[in-house]
Structure 1
Amino acid sequence: MKLKALLAKPFASIIASRIKKEMYRAVEDQEAIWEELVKVGKKTIFGKDHHFDSINSYEDFVKAVPIRDYEQFKPYIEKIKEGKHNVLWKGQPIYFAKTSGTTSGIKYIPISKDSISNHIDTARNSLLMFMAETGQTQFADGKLIFLSGSPELERIGGIPTGRLSGIVNHHVPRYLRTNQLPTYETNCIDDWETKLEKIVAETIDQNMTLISGIPPWMQMYFDLLIEKSGKKVGELFKNLGVIVHGGVNFEPYKAKLMDALGRQIPTIETYPASEGFMAFQDSQKSEGLLLNTNSGIFFEFVPAEEIFNENPTRLSLKDVKVGVNYALLVSTNAGLWAYNIGDTVKFVSTEPYRIVVTGRTKHYISAFGEHVIGEEVEQSLMTIAEAENVRVTEFTVAPKIQVNGELPYHEWFVEFEEAPADLASFAMKVDQLMRQKNIYYDDLLTGNILQPLKIRSLQKNAFIDYMRSIGKLGGQNKVPRLSNDRKVADGLGTYIA
């Protein structure tokens, strides 16, 4: 065992001990964070606009600070771009994280001097918790790859601006710099396919021990490694010890990724976002991700079906319940206030507080009042696929309303590694499971308002080709699993097998 792996053991033990104590004082930590946020916020333009001086309780905060999405926050962001100080948080942000919005175009999310540690330390803590639980520290001595966006930053209103993964790249600890791949020059390549070729060239003969990225990027990386070497990834990288993933649900990709690896490799799931690092997998033995309750973020939860109501129910951590689907709001030490990040989560435990991400507030289907969410379609498809020994590469679902005299239906576009022998039978089983999971959907079929779902089997690489055709291959771009419109579905129509 080399020096880094050796030193990692006691450090991991210290951090794990601290986090385990924090798990059981989460409500108290949240209350302390809320008080500190409001105290600092009083001196900001936002705080003065919302009468923070009169806020003495969480109930006061709920009355004073309405739920906002980016579009409603934009006037404050524009003030920051103009050079104003103390707008949303003290001083000015040290970065803008640049991300794509579904309705707002490009979004600029502030990262402050106070909030940057949330992004960096939480990523570190997820690895240290894994080390402490499993005793596996050897990967710290090998080469580590972070499949990320370009670290090149532009300046917007004088503030360094770029993709979150690129910003974080600048904060990789010095002691890991010599382990990190790809090179800075390769990471700066904009075109994803060109970049991927260079990443493979730089890593194919290295002692890779950790691979991190969102699952679709990893799959493309693995496919190219196999194509170039003729070997499974786990055989090529004999000391590969852990996979770190986040950004999208891992389950639809898991079987194919493990097949590409050729052996079972431990995985660590994370929940990073431009707005903050929300949660991470703290144990290989427990379901869900540990909510990051002591890292500068105050969480609120709105029952998902109420998020677009005029006066939805808002709950702090102490009032949440297991099994309820909540829209997630955050107030942060970067200056976000009751900000709807667009994700829905469900608690699987409250001792400690662990969550699973169930979907996006804007990624749903309710063309007829069915309220179908991402968790339901993913679980239905992957359960039947596993039972039928079928592998799914990628998929998306949209309503089909105009059907020339037929009843409307949900149209599923699925790219299979190998299509089921009987696609109609496979679709029927998925539909039956969907009916069990969603009573509204079941009622619509029972009442002859909808007909059963239909699956369109797509050509190989259909999703890659589609994303390339709209100029969104790579980067932080992901195909939504659910859409309430036909934009993605119509684009994929030309790729039906």
Structure 2
Amino acid sequence: MKFKSLLAKPFASIVSSRIRKEMQRAVEDQDSILTDLVKTGRKTDFGADHKFEAIQSYTDYKQAVPVRDYEQFKPYINRIKEGKHNVLWKGVPIYLAKTSGTTSGIKYIPITKESVSNHIDTARNALLNYMAETGNSSFADGKMIFLSGSPELERVGGIPTGRLSGIVNHHIPRYLRTNQLPSYETNCIEDWETKLDKIVTETINQDMTLISGIPPWVQMYFDQIMARSGKLIKDVFKNLDVLVYGGVNFEPYRAKLLGSIGKPIHTLETFPASEGFFAFQDSQTEEGLLLNTNSGIFYEFIPANEIFNENPTRLSLKEVEVGVNYALIINSNAGLWAYNIGDTVKFVSTNPYRLVVTGRIKHFISAFGEHVIGEEVEHSLMKAAAEENVHITEFTVAPRVQTDGELPYHEWFVEFENMPENMQAFAMKVDHNLRQKNIYYDDLLTGNILQPLKIRPVRKQGFIDYMKAIGKLGGQNKVPRLSNDRKLADELLQYLQ
């Protein structure tokens, strides 16, 4: 055993033990965090506007602070960008995380001196907990790659501003710097294809032991490595142990990614966002991600079917139930108050609190009242793909309302690694699976309001070419699984086989 892995083991044991203790006091920690947040928030413009001085309980808080999305938060963010102090949190943020919103354009999310540890420590804890659980620490002695955005930062209102992954890059511990790839200079390249080519050059002859990134972009990296070497990943990186991922559901990418590697390896799922690092996989055997309940964030949960109501039900952690789809609302020491991050989650356990990410609030199809969500389409497609031994590269779904006289339908744009033998039979399997998952969709077909879904095969590299065409190739960008309009679908028509 080498030096770094030897040192990591006792530290991993300490961190894992602390995580286990926090599992047992999750509700108590959440209550304490809300109290502390409100106490600090009283000294801010937001606290004055919402009469934080009068808040004595969670019930008081819900009455005083309505749920907001970024657009409704923007006036406060704009004041921070103008250099104002004590707007959402004491002082000014130490960073602004810059992210692309689907409806808000560029978003600027504050990161404060108090909140930055949530991003850094949670990533570290996820890896240390994995070490403690599996006994595998050898990856700490090899090279690690984090496919991320540029670490170059601009200044907005005097505040360093950039992609979250680039900001986090500045906080990688010194003892890991010698393990980290790619180089700083390569990480600063903005064009994804140029950057990827440089990453491959820098890493192909290295002892890579851990690779981290969003699955579709990791797959692009693997494709380039295999094209240049003529070998599977396991034969290029013989000591590759761990694949860390987040940002999208792994299942649609699992078969191709693991096939590219060519051997079983451990995977570690995380749930980070610019607004906070919310959860991570704490077990290789149990389903779901452990909610990060003691890291400066107080969570609220709104039943997903109420999120657009004027006065939706707002629940604290102790009130959630297993199996219910919730919109995730956060309150944090970054100065985000009753902030709707746009993700939906479902608890698979409340002892401890483990969840799965089920989709995006704005990514759904309900052109006819069916309210089909991401979790349902992913399940329906991947179940059929597994039965038919078909591998999926990427996909998205949209409604087809105008049909020249025939019944409307859901139109699926799917890029296949290998095509089904009978596309019509495959589409019927997917349709059957979706009918089983969503009773409203089933009712619409039974009532002859909709016809069964149709699949449009997208040509090889079609989704990559599309993302490139719109300037969103690589980094943290993702293809939406669902759209309730035709914008994305109509643009994809030119990428069909």
TM tier, shorter chain?
A: over 0.9
Are the aligned partners of 2:210 and 2:241 in contact in 1 as well (CA < 8 Å)? Answer: yes
Match of 2:362 in 1: 362
Distance 2:5 2:215 in 1: 26
- One-letter identity of the residue aligned with 2:390: V
- State the AA in 1 paired with 2:438: N
Q: CA deviation at 1:475?
A: 2.4
Relative to structure 2, which stretch is displaced further, 395-404 or 470-479?
A: 470-479
Q: For 1:112-191, what aligned pairs fall within 5 Å after superposition?
A: 112-191=112-191
Aligned to 1:8: 8
CA drift of 1:182 comes to 0.2
Query: Any idea what the Cα deviations from partners look like across 1:448-483, whole Å, max 9, x if unmatched?
Result: 000000001110000001111111111221110000
Return the alpha-carbon distance in structure 2 between the equivalents of residues 363 and 407 of structure 1. Answer: 23
Matched, 1:244 2:249: no
SS at match of 1:186: helix
Letter in 1 for 2:164: L
Q: Deviations over 1:183-219 (max 9, x none)?
A: 0000000000000000000000000000000001100
Matches within 5 A, 1:357-436: 357-436=357-436
Other-structure match for 1:29: 29
CA distance in 1, matches of 2:85, 2:471: 36
1:121 positional shift:
0.4
Which structure 2 residues correspond to residues 443-482 of structure 1 after superposition, within 5 A? 443-482=443-482
Deviation at 1:426, TM superposition (A): 0.2
Secondary structure of the residue that 1:299 maps to in structure 2?
strand
1:17-416 paired onto structure 2 within 5 Å: 17-416=17-416
* 2:444 partner SS: helix
Distance in structure 2 (CA, Å) of the matches to 1:435 and 1:28: 41
- Matched residues in 2 for 1:469 and 1:191: separation? 12
| Residues 33 and 298, structure 2, Cα contact 8 Å, conserved in 1 | yes
- CA deviations 1:9-37 (Å, max 9, x no partner) are 10000000000010011000000000000
Give the CA deviation at 1:82: 1.1
Q: How many Å separate the matches in 1 of 2:86 and 2:36?
A: 16
Shift of 1:431: 0.2
| 1:418 shift after superposition | 1.1
Moved more, 351-360 or 232-241: 232-241
Query: What CA distance in whole angstroms lies between the structure 2 residues aligned with 1:32 and 1:234?
Result: 47
Counterpart-to-counterpart distance in 2, 1:353 and 1:436 = 27
Question: In 1, distance between residues paired with 2:480 and 2:11?
Answer: 39
Q: Deviations over 1:365-424 (max 9, x none)?
A: 000000100000001100110111000000000000000000000000000001101000
What CA distance in whole angstroms lies between the structure 2 residues aligned with 1:388 and 1:224?
27
Q: How many residues align?
A: 497
Query: What amino acid maps onto 1:14 in structure 2?
Result: I
SS at match of 1:197: helix
Cα distance in 2 for partners of 1:78, 1:242 equals 41
Find the aligned partners of 1:65 and 1:338 in 2 and give their Cα distance.
7
Note the residue ranges of structure 1 that are not aligned, 5 or more in a row. none
- Give 1:234 deviation, angstroms: 1.2
SS in 2 for 1:256: helix
**For residues 477 and 269 of structure 1, what CA distance do their matches in structure 2 show?**
17
The answer (yes or no) to whether the contact 2:100–2:106 under 8 Å persists in 1 is yes
CA distance in 2, matches of 1:247, 1:262: 23
2:442 — aligned with what? 442
- Report the Cα distance in structure 1 between the residues aligned to 2:486 and 2:159, rounded to whole angstroms: 37
Measured against aligned partners, the alpha-carbon deviations of 1:275-309 in whole angstroms (never above 9, x if no partner) come to 00000000101100000000000000000010010
SS of equivalent residue, structure 1 residue 37 = helix
Structure 2 distance, partners of 1:468, 1:107, is 21
Name the SS for the 2:379 alignment partner: helix
CA contact (8 A) 2:217 2:475 kept: no
SS of the residue 2:218 aligns to: helix
Q: What is the letter of the counterpart of residue 339 of structure 2?
A: Y
Q: Is the 8 A contact 2:118 2:295 kept in 1?
A: yes
CA-CA distance at 1:496 after TM superposition: 1.2
Work out the CA distance in 1 between the residues paired with 2:62 and 2:235: 54
Q: Counterpart amino acid of 1:124?
A: R
- Structure 2 residue matching 1:398: 3-state secondary structure: strand
Q: SS of 2:396's equivalent?
A: strand
2:489 corresponding residue in structure 1 = 489
CA distance in 2, matches of 1:195, 1:81: 30
Counterparts of 1:414 and 1:111, CA distance in 2: 37
Return the offset for 1:103: 1.1
Identity %: 76
Q: Distance in 1 between matches of 2:465 and 2:495?
A: 9
TM-score (norm 1): 1.00
Q: Aligned partners of 1:82, 1:258: CA distance in 2, in Å?
A: 47
CA distance in 2: counterparts of 1:193 and 1:16, whole angstroms: 38
Query: TM-score by structure 2 length?
Result: 1.00
Name the CA distance, whole Å, in 1 between partners of 2:24 and 2:121: 20
| In structure 2, distance between residues paired with 1:402 and 1:210 | 48
Which residue identity lines up with residue 436 of structure 1 in the other structure? Q
Once the two structures are superposed, residues 2-59 of structure 1 have per-residue CA deviations (whole angstroms, 9 ceiling, x without a partner) of 1100011100000000000100110000000000000000000000000000101100
- Give the counterpart letter for 2:353 in structure 1: Y
* Matched residue type, 2:289: L
Contact persistence 2:147–2:475 (CA under 8 A): no
**SS state at 1:355 partner:** strand
Question: Offset of 1:120 from its aligned partner?
Answer: 0.3
Structure 1 segments of 4+ aligned residues over 4 angstroms from their partners: none
- Distance, in Å, in 2 between the alignment partners of 1:304 and 1:409 is 24
